Amino acid sequence: MIKLLDAEQIIAINKKICLAFNNPHHCFDSGKIESALHSAFYPGTPPFLYGGVPKIAAAMAFFLVKAHGFVDGNKRTGALASTIFLDLNGFSLRYSENPDAFFDIINGCAAGQISKEDMIGWYDIHKVKAFN
């Protein structure tokens, strides 16, 4: 069974990120966060539209970054939430060819240079299943 994150957990992630960098934490609209999660986790039960944990994580990162639900830390929140989601579900990302690759894909998403499909493809290529 896939373990999901909820809006309260995403808001808590943003709060920790902002506090760590001495930035203001403020959620503009929790509905934006809920909408981003709903889009990533559609239709709410397996099988999910995006199929598979890494693809769902990519969609979550994409929608959270694009939602701009917070005053600060939207990219960091989307990135961290997606990696937490991966970890909760037995996956991680590996991108040894370029240590900035994850940073680049998240920034490209925010700048409108990376499509949702590109993001999903990148996560799928760079997924690593955790050993149990």
* 34-53 pLDDT, tens digit each: 999 999 999 877 778 888 99
Q: CA–CA distance from 59 to each of 46, 56, 67, 108, 126 (Å)? A: 15, 5, 12, 14, 14
Q: What is the pLDDT of residue 76?
A: 97
- Which phi and psi angles does 3 have, rounded to 5°? -90, 125
> 126: helix, coil or strand?
helix
Q: What is the pLDDT of residue 96?
A: 83
Q: What is the pLDDT of residue 45?
A: 76
CATH code for 7-129? 1.20.120.1870
Q: What is the pLDDT of residue 130?
A: 84
Contact (Cβ atoms closer than 8 angstroms) between residue 110 and residue 74:
yes
Domain positions in the chain are: 7-129
To the nearest 10°, report the CA torsion of 57, 58, 60, 66: 160
Q: What is the pLDDT of residue 132?
A: 56
List the chain residues with pLDDT less than 50: none
92: left (phi over 0), alpha (psi -120 to 50) or beta: beta
